[in-house]
Amino acid sequence: MLTVNAYAATSATEPLAPTTIERRDLDPHDVLIDIKFSGICHSDIHTARSEWGPTTYPIVVGHEIAGVVREVGSAVTKFAVGDRVGVGCMVDSCRECDNCRKGLEQYCRNGNVQTYGGVGRDGKPTQGGYAQAIVVTEDFVLRIPDGIELDAATPLLCAGITTYSPLRHWKAGPGTRVAVVGMGGLGHMAVKLAHAMGAEVTVLSQSLKKQEDGLRLGADQYHATSDAETFTKLAGSFDLIINTVSAKIDLDAYLRLLAVDGTLVNVGAPEDPLSVHAFSLIPARRSFAGSMIGGIAETQEMLDFCAEHGLGAEIEVIPAEKINEAYERVLASDVRYRFVIDASTF
Ligand code: NAP
Ligand code: ZN
Ligand code: ZN
């Protein structure tokens, strides 16, 4: 077993603090990864603070992981020592159910094994990426293409795939009008990806503070949702809306922005239930949907797409001691646009 430095949450209210954790011995299909960077996803905060139900403490969160292979098990064929690799939100699944067989491991009928807060192959709780190293079975390790710097690639492992998957599924591309609600970690990647796919992109943010950035990242239009005019001006004008907001919003107001047959996909996962009025959907045959990360093959496809289009995340690299401060800034929508922890500081 390997002992590594990590940062853990010990209760819903205490700040995260340094600790050590054990990583399992390599089985024949395992890869030991020296973590170089670890992203801060809003889901880490929801989990560390028990916002989605009770969390089992202590927990090491973090599911945007980029690093370099240190060691491989005897039967590993996909990776070699020194490879640049990533790990996202899942570290395993049953691989046998119909969804797993279709490459939809995130929707595994037996429950995918989450990178943190799940139960690993050794029967122990999984611990995530705010650590110096991790052991993951090779089928759930991604290859980071040479064209993307490791730090900027890190947020692609969750924020990237979570927005890429619905954009692909609902066919964003030339001729489609896509709106992105909330320009944080997920939102800024949605803007870059939808633009690279050829869609017409609009950002719907609480204010115009980040407008210049939004336009630079690929948005064609940028509107403040604090301005009531936005909702009258843009009524019926989008084919696809990706809602990345981490808090409860007035979905009916956003659904009315969809054209006939338009879809609002919720990827934001607030702790409070959302409500939808039937008459926000019925008069224009609109759909309200959800989407969770993406499968392993699709995640690799997304990484390759990003390399091909020169895309990475906009990041602010921080030392581990600034994690708690970074959490407060994420909660205040003061992130531009993803905090990435330098793993050498754990
Ligand atoms: P984030 O960086 O905090 O971004 C969320 C953005 O939403 C903020 O930057 C802000 O953008 C906007 N926002 C925040 N509070 C708001 C409020 N009260 N009203 C209106 N807008 C508000 O978070 P993230 O890491 O992108 O994650 C976003 C959500 O997605 C979280 O709930 C997370 O758990 C969830 N998530 C889901 C999946 C999935 O598989 N479905 C995967 C990853 C994350 P503006 O300043 O532009 O308004
Ligand atoms: Zn995430
Ligand atoms: Zn399965």
Distance CA 249, CA 274 (A): 8
pLDDT of residue 249: 96
pLDDT of residue 122: 81
| Start-end of H helices in the chain | 42-48, 98-101, 150-153, 159-169, 185-196, 211-217, 229-233, 251-255, 278-281, 296-309, 323-331
To test the pocket of ligand 1, the residue of 188, 246, 316, 339 to mutate (highest count of ligand atoms within 8 Å of its CB) is 246
d(CA 15, ligand 3 centre) in Å: 35
244 lines ligand 1 (CB under 6 A): yes
To test the pocket of ligand 1, the residue of 65, 90, 186, 334 to mutate (highest count of ligand atoms within 8 Å of its CB) is 186
Using a cut of 0.95, tell me whether the model's pTM lies above it: yes
Contact 163, 242 (CB under 8 A): yes
**DSSP E strands: which ranges in 116-248?**
133-137, 142-143, 177-181, 200-205, 221-224, 238-243
pLDDT of residue 120: 86
292 lines ligand 1 (CB under 6 A): yes
pLDDT of residue 140: 98
The two structure tokens encoding residue 103: 């490459």
Residues whose CB falls within 8 Å of the CB of residue 48, separated by 6 or more in sequence, listed in order: 9, 12, 16, 55, 59, 61, 327
pLDDT in tens, the chain (346 residues): 999 999 999 999 999 999 999 999 999 999 999 999 999 999 999 999 999 999 999 999 999 999 999 999 999 999 999 999 999 999 999 999 999 999 999 999 999 999 999 998 788 999 999 999 999 999 999 999 999 999 999 999 999 999 999 999 999 999 999 999 999 999 999 999 999 999 999 999 999 999 999 999 999 999 999 999 999 999 999 999 999 999 999 999 999 999 999 999 999 999 999 999 999 999 999 999 999 999 999 999 999 999 999 999 999 999 999 999 999 999 999 999 999 999 999 9
To test the pocket of ligand 1, the residue of 204, 245, 251, 274 to mutate (highest count of ligand atoms within 8 Å of its CB) is 245
217 lines ligand 1 (CB under 6 A): no
The residues that bridge with 110 in the sheet, in sequence order, are: none
Query: Could you tell me the end-to-end alpha-carbon distance of the chain, in angstroms, rounded to an integer?
Result: 19
